[in-house]
Structure 1
């Protein structure tokens, strides 16, 4: 699992490292890693035109020292300070000694641009002078950000004003939360971690974490020789309506692919469901988890309330989210999993949708705390929060997932994992991971249908299981 940390925790770990290392050692390690990454992105270093956008802080120093290393290898390095009166003195001296130069203007051409304008302490977007430099980055020049793109909030991924869009971000010591969460993640490009010798224990508790393929086998259910369809779990699906029968079909499709032994459907779309999936049980009965809400319409609130009254895990999605009472959810003894998209999250919180989109981390934490539930916030960065541990960030997916019905498949899949016995946060995280992986495989760079995501789930499951 890839873990990310708050600025406060990273700063504490850096202070601990600096106390036991020679002065300047951390910056030199960072500069060496940055220079190596830059060199790897250039067809050749000798003769390459490298432009450094330099702020007054340590990120500017990292960029200058890295530029000095590149200059010693024959690159033509030009540093452009945002504030000529505040440039890291040691870094500037090293660059000049290596043959680099200082300029008041960004050159018209560059083979590589290094963004060292702001560090992890920067907030509120770029100031005018720095923004003016970022606007003059030569078109087509690859951009490497130092630690994180300037203008991105390192703790939240929020972008409050002008910011740099990087092709590659070279981050030091530990991942920062803002590199994993949109909109900041979308500006970071490929993220490369450089080890500068921070003590993992000194970093403390992660603020966020992203699953990796190796984490999935420990989460996904695997039947044993004595398993039967009931011991593997039965998931109930309350979904669909006369207007939206397809939502029921898609939710059942995801549920059938999710590891539970059986799927029980309750709703008016039973003919459509059985025509597509004759394996489905129809009508109420004993279940180990419920999925409530996809395509439900506005006249079946009583069925949603009935599911929430049962002492089993319940996933609530789509129409089931309307008018949810936090007191009802907080009084439940069994886990509740909410799976809103940004618009639904905004309605639950009583804020504009734009506030959720720009502050996804704050929104998912607020929802989890207010409703006493695990929350899976869908979107360009899907987040899972249980209100206690690190927020989980889903790294898989494709923009083609923004298609009708894909959320219904995800709900069925996550509900099935709940019925199979996974804790709500694990069920949500594993479902989002598999769902995104399946979508990427099914799309292969082209538009896809939600039913194709469901059909690709077995291949995604096998891929992460290594079989």
Structure 2
């Protein structure tokens, strides 16, 4: 599990640790880890550190200090280090003295700095630290736009990226590698910020941190959550998921949701809807019931809405009246947006909403009675959007997109690290809905079910697309689920 902490939490932990350490010791720890990472990158690129051209972009404060101290370490190893001071009057005094003592050069002329930047083998971005807000200041913008040939290493967070949210309010400096200290920062895991971070490497500095409210699953944690039948299991003990999906216009949505559900860990799938004949022909193991969710018989969770068309409103009402977890997707979300959060009032079982940003906009409009906010604004603030929706509807929200974010009403959030842009294909969301519904029926708590479903769905997309990547269909993604399920389980067994 990758745990990410807010700036406020990091600052508090740093202050507590610094009170117990000699002055400057914590910065020296961070700089040593940063320099070690840079040395490995230079050795990989050039075969050695000695003689490499290194540029330090140093802003004010401790972030610039970390970069200057790391530059001093590289200079002592024979690198030709120049530090471009973007705020000379506020440069970190100790770091600057260390760099000069190691025979590093200090550059105040920005034209010279830009020339050095463009021909450097490695650039250390120490312009803005984790407390920075908004885009780069005017004096730093040219570096974000200049041609470069070397590796850019961000110190804790790429300058211009909001460390807490991943939002990019203006111009930001794109990194190839980000070295973060003590803990991951949410902005390194969530787009658009994650797209600026490159490969993220964590350097431990001994912080004692509280539980994280943003995290990202990895194979071991997912393997622990995957349902596994026991000796006494039958299909009902494993869970039965009900799928209310498909319509005359969108019969394929039923097939895709059922395909995802069949590979999702539940013991059986019960289908209700107009596409029963097509579903049974393609998946004969499916249980089919006429009518809607109210008369379908025993289920442990419902998936409502994919391709639901004209029947979505009634199916949603019947499913929400049940006492089992309900996943609402696609046309079900459109209906819920019309009804507003009151439609979920009084529910004691969990509700999971799985919108993309366009559907999120309609849900938010339904919550506050205003016009739908622009979807691109919601996409640029993914964490805030998911949390806002979860709070408004008192439901767990899986916000789909370039970074899928799962948030619960209490503010806890998980960021999905898997996936591929090839998943942007018709029906992919229907497969995800069925998969998540099966995990709910199998008994996973709603935050876990949504997070594991997003993780497996992303892996299945990668598996179906293969390397270096090719177009895939939603059915290919569903067909790849058993393989990635085994892959996750096998990796956990190998680690034991």
> What's the TM-score once normalised by structure 2's chain length?
0.91
Q: Distance in 2 between matches of 1:50 and 1:213?
A: 36
**Residue 229 of structure 2 aligns to a residue in which SS?**
coil
Partner residue in 1 for 2:124: 114
Cα pair 1:177 1:207 within 8 Å, conserved: no
Moved over 3 A (4+): none
**Residue 27 of structure 2 aligns to a residue in which SS?**
helix
Cα pair 2:304 2:312 within 8 Å, conserved: no
Partner residue in 1 for 2:474: 450
Give the counterpart of 2:56 among 46, 52, 72: 52
- Note the 1:7-406 alignment, pairs <5 A: 7-42=7-42, 43=46, 44-103=48-107, 104=109, 105-106=113-114, 107=116, 108-136=118-146, 138-199=147-208, 203-283=209-289, 284-324=296-336, 325-349=340-364, 350-388=372-410, 390-406=412-428
Q: CA deviation at 1:389?
A: 5.4
Cα pair 1:262 1:280 within 8 Å, conserved: yes
Q: Distance in 2 between matches of 1:335 and 1:165?
A: 40
Deviation track 1:410-463 (CA, whole Å, cap 9, x = no partner) reads 000000111111111111011111111111111112221111111111111111
**Residue 11 of structure 1 aligns to a residue in which SS?**
helix
Runs of at least 5 residues in structure 1 that lack an aligned partner in the other structure: none
Partner residue in 2 for 1:420: 442
Deviation track 1:227-284 (CA, whole Å, cap 9, x = no partner) reads 1112211111111111111111110000000111111111111122112111111112
Cα pair 1:256 1:416 within 8 Å, conserved: yes
Q: CA deviation at 1:299?
A: 4.3
Bigger helix share? 2
Q: Distance in 1 between matches of 2:13 and 2:144?
A: 30
Deviation track 1:277-308 (CA, whole Å, cap 9, x = no partner) reads 11111112221111001111144311211111
Q: Distance in 1 between matches of 2:435 and 2:32?
A: 45
> What's the TM-score once normalised by structure 1's chain length?
0.97
Q: How many residues end up aligned between the 2 structures?
A: 463
Cα pair 1:336 1:374 within 8 Å, conserved: yes
Q: Distance in 1 between matches of 2:354 and 2:106?
A: 52
Partner residue in 2 for 1:408: 430
Cα pair 1:330 1:373 within 8 Å, conserved: no
Deviation track 1:326-360 (CA, whole Å, cap 9, x = no partner) reads 01213211110000011111111131101211111
Cα pair 1:82 1:133 within 8 Å, conserved: no
Question: Once structures 1 and 2 are overlaid, which stretch shifts more, 117-126 or 276-285?
Answer: 276-285
Q: CA deviation at 1:56?
A: 0.9
Deviation track 1:392-423 (CA, whole Å, cap 9, x = no partner) reads 11111111111111110000000011111111
**Residue 33 of structure 1 aligns to a residue in which SS?**
helix
Q: CA deviation at 1:132?
A: 2.3
Deviation track 1:120-160 (CA, whole Å, cap 9, x = no partner) reads 00001111112123323x42321100000001111111110
Deviation track 1:156-200 (CA, whole Å, cap 9, x = no partner) reads 11110110111100001111111111111111111111111212x
Q: CA deviation at 1:205?
A: 2.9
Deviation track 1:362-393 (CA, whole Å, cap 9, x = no partner) reads 11111111101111111111111112253111
